């Protein structure tokens, strides 16, 4: 087995580990509100989320293409150091993302796996003097990164306001019972959107590794075996399976933060947050091919729906710590990735 092939296999395996950590780190995104309102039991919710994460991952590759285009890995693959150097860059990016995922999971902070991965890619790219496509980073990442939480907050606030007005004369117990049933649909929509968004990011990294190793041409015209728009079918299935398995394993620490610590949710508020988040994820993935954070979107939507009761009902101290984690996620992952590249480059070509 050549060094290049061994490194490709290692990077693909680590990418799938990242996908798995993404699943258990972000499992709470889709089901925390449904579990906290007792619309679904935890195990039923996790099983549903796992299946729909898998299905969502099969629905497109636009976000994967965006991830693939953030850095120009081809220039490193054809440099004097060749494929092993390029693969070291991808490996460092993954280590940065996984490290930050594990840190935030341990402390129960709902940070973004997506932006940890993007931060890792940028950090490894800068450390290796690889071209970073800043226009793509700004248009497809930075702007949607700011827009999606804002849309989540405002959209959930408006939807919950409309629900309160429409059902203003109805019995609270009847409303709660009805919206617990509705939450099954909205939670399913969130899980499908999470698979659509987050599994594609791992697909993009695996394609980067295959391009770096010379197994795929960067113009996606020469892809061995069946593919979907230049992404090999086996990559899609592997990423879908890994994120589904991770989701089913559950992320209980983060689930407690989203479901209870930000605000005491009732079924209508939870439904408004989930429905708004799911819609935002679909628009960003299918319409704009933008890798937005499911975590940022659903957390903001929970704040927005909760703020309809009164702004003081939201535990803004908890929200502040979450926002701080959002801000530092990309640079923190970038620093870890850059350090990993520096160490790896001492031992690898």
Query: Tell me, what's the pLDDT at 3?
Result: 78
- Name the least confident of 111-120, 188-197, 284-293, 305-314: 305-314
User: Helix, strand, coil shares of the chain as percentages rounded to 5?
Assistant: 80, 0, 20
Reading the block at residue 170, the tokens are 């109805």
Reported as a single tens digit per residue, the pLDDT across 142-188 is: 898 888 888 999 999 999 999 999 998 888 888 988 998 898 898 89
Burial class (CB in 10 A: 0-12, 13-18, 19+), 189: buried
Residue 160 Cα distances to 60, 184, 283, 302, 346, angstroms: 30, 17, 20, 10, 55
Query: Tell me, what's the pLDDT at 55?
Result: 94
Tell me the Ramachandran region of residue 220: left when phi exceeds 0, alpha when psi lies from -120 to 50, beta otherwise. Answer: left
Query: Tell me, what's the pLDDT at 207?
Result: 92
Between 9 and 288, where is the model more confident?
A: 9
Task: Tell me the average pLDDT of the chain.
Answer: 83
Between 160 and 213, where is the model more confident?
A: 160
Query: Tell me, what's the pLDDT at 82?
Result: 64
Q: Could you give the 3-state DSSP secondary structure of residue 228?
A: strand
Do the Cβ atoms of 109 and 33 come closer than 8 Å?
no
260 pLDDT higher than 60: no
Do the Cβ atoms of 232 and 223 come closer than 8 Å?
yes
Confidence (pTM): 0.84
Query: Tell me, what's the pLDDT at 319?
Result: 62
Rounded CA separation 41/35 (Å):
6
Distance of CA 137 to the CA centre of its chain: 16
What's the residue count for the chain?
349
Question: Which strand (E) or helix (H) includes residue 297?
Answer: helix 294-306
- Residue where the block lists tokens 């899609």: 236
Rounded CA separation 323/136 (Å):
24
**How many Cβ atoms are within 10 Å of 190's Cβ, its own excluded?**
32
Q: Could you give the 3-state DSSP secondary structure of residue 71?
A: strand
Reading the block at residue 114, the tokens are 């997506």
Residue range 82-95: mean pLDDT, rounded: 87
Distance of CA 161 to the CA centre of its chain: 28
Alpha-carbon dihedral sign for residues 314, 317, 320, 322: negative
What range defines the domain where residue 141 resides?
A: 3-347
Do the Cβ atoms of 302 and 273 come closer than 8 Å?
yes
Q: Band the pLDDT of 211: cuts 50, 70, 90.
A: confident
* Radius of gyration of the chain from its Cα atoms, rounded to whole angstroms: 20
Tell me the Ramachandran region of residue 137: left when phi exceeds 0, alpha when psi lies from -120 to 50, beta otherwise. Answer: alpha
Specify the number of domains making up the chain. Answer: 1
Residue range 54-74: mean pLDDT, rounded: 89
CA angle 198, 202, 203 (to 5 degrees): 105
Strand partners, 228: 231
Q: Band the pLDDT of 113: cuts 50, 70, 90.
A: confident
Query: Tell me, what's the pLDDT at 51?
Result: 92
Of the candidates 248, 192, 198, 186, which has an alpha carbon nearest to the alpha carbon of residue 16?
198
Reading the block at residue 314, the tokens are 């939201």
- Name the least confident of 92-101, 112-121, 216-225: 216-225
**How many Cβ atoms are within 10 Å of 343's Cβ, its own excluded?**
13
């Amino acid at each position: 087995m050549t060094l290049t092939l061994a490194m490709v296999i290692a990077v693909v395996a680590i990418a799938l580990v990242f996908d798995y950590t993404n699943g258990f780190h972000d499992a709470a995104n889709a089901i925390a509100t449904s579990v906290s309102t007792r619309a679904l039991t935890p195990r039923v919710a996790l099983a549903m989320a796992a299946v729909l994460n898998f299905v969502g991952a099969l629905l497109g590759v636009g976000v994967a293409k965006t991830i693939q285009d953030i850095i120009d890995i081809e220039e490193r693959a054809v440099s004097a150091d060749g494929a092993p150097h390029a693969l070291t860059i991808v490996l460092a990016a993954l280590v940065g993302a996984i490290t930050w995922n594990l840190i935030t999971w341990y402390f129960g902070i709902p940070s973004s796996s997506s932006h940890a991965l993007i931060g890792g890619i940028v950090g490894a790219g800068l450390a290796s003097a690889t071209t970073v496509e800043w226009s793509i980073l700004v248009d497809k990442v930075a702007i949607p990164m700011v827009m999606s939480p804002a849309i989540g907050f405002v959209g959930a606030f408006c939807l919950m306001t409309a629900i309160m007005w429409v059902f203003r004369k109805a019995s609270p117990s009847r409303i709660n019972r009805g919206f617990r049933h509705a939450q099954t649909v909205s939670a399913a929509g969130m899980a499908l959107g999470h698979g659509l968004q987050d599994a594609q990011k791992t697909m993009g990294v695996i394609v980067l590794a295959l391009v770096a190793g010379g197994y795929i041409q960067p113009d996606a015209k020469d892809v061995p075996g069946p593919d979907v728009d230049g992404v090999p079918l086996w990559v899609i299935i592997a990423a879908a399976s890994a994120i589904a398995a991770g989701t089913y394993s559950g992320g209980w620490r983060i689930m407690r933060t989203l479901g209870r610590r930000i605000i005491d949710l009732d079924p209508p508020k939870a439904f408004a947050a989930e429905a708004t988040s799911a819609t935002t994820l679909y628009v960003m993935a299918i319409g704009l091919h933008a890798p937005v954070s499911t975590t940022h979107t659903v957390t903001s939507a929970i704040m927005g729906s909760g703020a309809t009761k009164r702004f003081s009902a939201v535990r803004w101290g908890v929200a502040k710590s979450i926002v701080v984690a959002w801000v530092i996620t990309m640079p923190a992952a970038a620093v870890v990735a850059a350090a990993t590249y520096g160490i790896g480059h001492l031992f690898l070509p």
